Copies of this chain bind each other. A is one copy, B any other.
Amino acid sequence: MEIDQHKSMKMTPQRIAIMKYLDGNVTHPSAADIYGSLRGEFPTMSLATVYNTMEILKEQGRVVELSIDPAKKRFDPNVGPHHHLICTQCSKVVDIFTEFPLGLTEDEKHGFKIVGNHVDFYGICGDCAAAEKERS
């Protein structure tokens, strides 16, 4: 994520820290994750600042909001086309960059003007599988 000047976005230490945190981050953090990671550096930072900043980054297309986790929003600084592997136990999300042929006929589009697509794979991640084996 380019941490440069941007039209109508005043750069503050908090925003710079959030953008640095997101740059190259592949953990798909929630607002609380971001907040928690930056509290050490900015003890007075508010969760509202995180949400506010994410909203702006979203509008600028520098971040994508994911609906992957039913419990909370998660954010993805990788805005290029890619797909996700989701652990149904621990909610871990891993990026995959495989491309799939996802063409639809006009009929299959049901009158929609398609602008994008996304593939989610569900499964059990290695860590959770190991933990399960451990318990048995």
| Complex CA distance for A104 and B108, rounded to whole angstroms | 25
Are the C-beta atoms of A115 and B123 separated by less than 8 Å?
yes
A102 proximal to B (CB < 8 A): yes
A40 proximal to B (CB < 8 A): no
Are the C-beta atoms of B98 and A115 separated by less than 8 Å?
no
Q: Which parts of A37-91 form the interface with B (CB within 8 Å)?
A: 65, 67-70, 73, 85, 87-88
Q: Cβ of A88: which chain B residues have Cβ within 8 Å of it? A: 115
Are the C-beta atoms of A125 and B104 separated by less than 8 Å?
no
Q: Cβ of A117: which chain B residues have Cβ within 8 Å of it? A: 119-122
Q: How many residues of A contact B (CB 8 A)?
A: 36
A7 proximal to B (CB < 8 A): no
| Complex CA distance for A16 and B115, rounded to whole angstroms | 39
A11 proximal to B (CB < 8 A): no
A6 proximal to B (CB < 8 A): no
Are the C-beta atoms of B104 and A101 separated by less than 8 Å?
no
Q: Which of B69, B70, B112, B123 contacts A112 (CB 8 A)?
A: B123
Which partner residue on chain B sits nearest A70 by CB separation? Answer: B67
Q: Which parts of A94-120 form the interface with B (CB within 8 Å)?
A: 94, 96, 98, 100-102, 104, 108-120
Q: A: which residues have CB within 8 A of B?
A: 65, 67-70, 73, 85, 87-88, 94, 96, 98, 100-102, 104, 108-126, 129
